[in-house]
């Protein structure tokens, strides 16, 4: 069985991997789509936390059921599925409280354990979502968009809130789309004007701010001096995350969706005087996958324009590095099998 492994930073290779070993609770899936995300790019560059080499990447996955274990119910060969790649224990304090997305023993496919950048993978039936009503492309992007859905749900934002999303990558775009679906007015912030233009057309952002051009003043003008009630930072940049403390309104909320491999510092008097609520948002739950599925079915999320680059499995390695370059204008790259 063919697989693509990140052997070390900056080095991908096609390898011969063993066939997946499946238990009676597992489903063997023929992988058909693999979305490329920031986690894969960070792993390739050598700056992904919680990571060890070599590793088969890939956790944005959809495919077709090849076989199901004896104890599996609700899935059969031929079904189309999306993979929930967060392998939680089901027993820890987080899992017992329904927060499976931040399990104390979390293992994420393609990060802590080998992922789905291979022809077949065995996954517990509990981590598969039957998606016969969606396309393979739509099924594969449930995971990255689910991360945005989870951040929005966790923030507690209400219809009518003014929301700022810092970072117009795939995760930030997902936050924007799901915040709009909840009735918020959305301001997008990035340093790339083309990305901001995409926010207007794809996520229907109400306004855009270039982070290099006096962003605080722009936000004050857009909010009549009040600033956004909820701010999401989806950049994975320590500098941006530290700067984001200046953006929420008094009594507002700041949500860190992005992850950075460093410490974050902030000015405590500024934080305290605003009585800010600071949140981390990690991964997603089935509820969030379901919310994205509903949004796609309702026509609120256009997956076809979200996916900007494609490659076949056999041709992916030489193209992978080009997707890292800003001039490629990659939003979401998809690998097809």
pLDDT for the residue 45: 86
> Do the domain assignments include residue 301?
no
**159 in the same domain as 195:** yes
Residue 189 burial by Cβ neighbours in a 10 Å radius (0-12, 13-18, 19+): buried
> What CATH number did the domain enclosing 265 receive?
3.40.50.720
pLDDT digits (tens, 9 = 90+) for 8-60: 999 999 999 999 988 999 999 999 999 998 888 888 888 777 788 999 999 99
> Do the domain assignments include residue 288?
no
pLDDT digits (tens, 9 = 90+) for 122-169: 999 999 999 999 999 999 999 999 999 999 999 999 999 999 999 999
> Do the domain assignments include residue 224?
yes
The Cα–Cα gap between 181 and 97 comes to: 27
In three state form, how does the secondary structure of 24-85 look?
CCEEEEEEEEEEECHHHHHHHHCCCCCCCCCEECCCEEEEEEEEECCCCCCCCCCCEEEECC
> Do the domain assignments include residue 285?
no
DSSP code string of 295-311: HHHTT-S-HHHH--EEE
**265 in the same domain as 198:** yes
**320 in the same domain as 191:** no
> What CATH number did the domain enclosing 136 receive?
3.90.180.10
> Do the domain assignments include residue 131?
yes
Query: Could you tell me whether strands 26-36 and 333-336 are parallel, antiparallel, or unpaired per DSSP bridges?
Result: antiparallel
CA distances from 241 to 79, 207, 222, 229, 247 (A): 41, 20, 21, 16, 10
pLDDT for the residue 47: 75
**204 in the same domain as 269:** yes
The Cα–Cα gap between 105 and 91 comes to: 9
> Do the domain assignments include residue 120?
yes
CA distances from 160 to 90, 163, 221 (A): 36, 9, 18
The Cα–Cα gap between 146 and 236 comes to: 17
**90 in the same domain as 152:** no
**152 in the same domain as 120:** no
The Cα–Cα gap between 125 and 77 comes to: 13
What is the domain count for the chain? 2
**50 in the same domain as 136:** yes
Tell me the backbone φ, ψ of residue 8, rounded to 5 degrees: -165, 165
**194 in the same domain as 114:** no
pLDDT for the residue 11: 93
pLDDT digits (tens, 9 = 90+) for 182-199: 999 999 999 999 999 999
pLDDT for the residue 100: 94
**276 in the same domain as 177:** yes
> Do the domain assignments include residue 222?
yes
**6 in the same domain as 130:** yes
Q: Can you give the residue range of the structural domain that contains 161?
A: 147-280
Residue 177: its H or E element: helix 170-181
**31 in the same domain as 103:** yes
**129 in the same domain as 21:** yes
> Do the domain assignments include residue 291?
no
In three state form, how does the secondary structure of 229-276 look?
CEEEECCCCHHHHHHHHHCCCCCCEEEECCCCCCCCCCCHHHHHHCCC
pLDDT for the residue 58: 96
pLDDT for the residue 162: 97
């Amino acid at each position: 069985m063919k697989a693509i492994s990140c052997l070390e930073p900056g080095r991908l290779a096609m390898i011969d991997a063993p066939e997946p070993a499946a238990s009676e609770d597992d489903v063997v899936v023929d992988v058909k789509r693999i979305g490329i995300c920031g986690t894969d790019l960070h792993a390739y560059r050598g700056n992904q936390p919680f990571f060890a080499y070599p590793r088969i990447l890939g956790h944005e996955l959809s495919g077709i059921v090849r076989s199901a274990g004896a104890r599996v119910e609700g899935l059969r060969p031929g079904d189309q599925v999306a993979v929930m790649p967060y392998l939680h224990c089901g027993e820890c304090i987080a899992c017992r409280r329904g927060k499976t997305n931040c399990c104390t023993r979390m293992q994420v496919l393609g990060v802590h354990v080998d992922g789905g950048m291979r022809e077949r993978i065995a996954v517990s039936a509990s981590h598969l979502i039957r998606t016969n009503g969606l396309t393979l492309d739509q099924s594969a992007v449930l995971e990255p968009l689910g991360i945005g859905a989870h951040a929005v749900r966790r923030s507690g934002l209400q219809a009518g809130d003014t929301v700022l999303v810092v970072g117009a990558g795939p995760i930030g775009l997902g936050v924007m789309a799901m915040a709009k679906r909840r009735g918020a007015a959305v301001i997008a912030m990035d340093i790339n004007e083309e990305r901001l233009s995409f926010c207007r057309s794809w996520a229907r952002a109400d306004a855009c701010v270039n982070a290099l051009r006096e962003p605080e003043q722009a936000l004050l003008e857009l909010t009549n001096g009040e600033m956004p009630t909820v701010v999401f930072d989806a950049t994975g940049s320590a500098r941006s995350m530290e700067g984001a403390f200046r953006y929420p309104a008094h009594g507002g909320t700041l949500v860190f969706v992005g992850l950075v491999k460093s410490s974050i510092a902030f000015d405590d008097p500024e934080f305290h005087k605003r009585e800010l609520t600071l949140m981390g948002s990690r991964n997603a739950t089935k509820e969030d996958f379901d919310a994205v599925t509903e949004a796609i079915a309702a026509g609120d999320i256009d997956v076809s324009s979200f996916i900007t680059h494609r490659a076949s499995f056999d041709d992916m390695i030489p193209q992978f590095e080009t997707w890292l370059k800003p001039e490629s204008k990659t939003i979401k790259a998809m690998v097809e099998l």
